Amino acid sequence: MNRRPKSLRVLALLVILAGTLQSTLEAQNFGRLSLSVIDNQGEPIEGVLVLGTCSLLESLRIEKTTNSKGKAILAFADATKTYDLHFEKEGFTSIDIRIKPEVRKTVTRTITMPPKSAGGGQPNANMAPGEVIRFTPAEEAFNRGVTAIRASDLAAGKLDIMRALELDPKMAAGHAALAGIYLEEKDYHAALESAQTFQQLDPENSQSYRILYSAHNALGNKAEAAAALEALKVSGGGQDAAIMTYNEGVAALKIGASSSAKARFIDALALQPNLIPAHTALIAIYMDEGDFAEALASTDRLLALEPDNG
């Protein structure tokens, strides 16, 4: 039962809506960095501690450890800033680099850490990223694909991602990107197949559960969708996945695909029910669609989270 009179709820709805879509489109600067850490022989290094800091965000401290394949994924809430990354593991020369992520993009990088016995000493903390970062042909194709997708050229992006997978069939990020493309194309069976391959290649990455959830949910496989959602929460990736899914909705809004955006915002709230921007974005979409009942229901949910808005 609603405790507020309807007139106050409507007033709150109008206040919430003021500038909602514009702020939704402008506020999100999320970015991700997919790292592969290898030795001088090109072999992956497990157990590398990766520490991320930012001189403009004193309280920020990102801490990850590479898995058995030498991989780690770093998520940045604000990809417009520059970050310092420190790589260390006993027996290897520590590496420090300064890097600027790319907004709404997952970029792959390969970092080489030579064994201490190989010499070379400590690199300069302010070295240019290119001094220790190199791209394989597969990574170059992958990054071209991501750039094309960001420019709303899904067809070109798909071709580049598929090319990357031809060059490196075990590129987990490529299968993840392809699964995302299939989701956008509404080819949910293909999305499931790519997501399952992604999960086999990188079982510690919770993003696969997010894709499996979205695909199963779209196909009406309620039990499978619920299982994927629960696995995602248990894996600890729910918050990160919610932000990613929300940002996919923002990207869809930018190209006018409001139905796709609405689906992404609903998925984001299934992962993180207190994600305020997703609630406000949904309210704006419902109002634009003329679905005032759902707009008011969403307003009630938002006011339950932020009573001061009422």
Tens digit of each residue's pLDDT, the chain (310 residues): 444 454 445 444 444 444 444 444 444 567 778 888 998 888 899 999 999 887 776 667 888 899 989 998 887 767 777 888 999 999 888 888 888 887 767 788 888 888 875 444 444 333 444 344 567 888 888 888 877 876 778 889 899 999 999 999 998 888 988 998 898 888 999 999 999 999 998 887 777 888 898 899 889 898 998 788 778 777 766 666 677 678 778 877 777 788 888 988 888 888 788 887 888 888 888 888 888 788 888 777 877 776 554 4
Whether 113 contacts 123, CB under 8 Å: no
How far, CA to CA in Å, does 162 sit from each of 59, 183, 209, 270? 40, 15, 21, 31
Q: Report the distance separating Cα 180 and Cα 198, nearest Å.
A: 11
pLDDT at position 125, please?
36
pLDDT of res. 8: 45
- d(Cα 302, Cα 280) in Å, to the nearest integer? 8
Task: Please give the pLDDT value at position 121.
Answer: 40
pLDDT at 20: 47
Amino acid letter, 273: P
* Exposed/middle/buried for residue 126 (C-beta within 10 Å: 0-12, 13-18, 19+): exposed
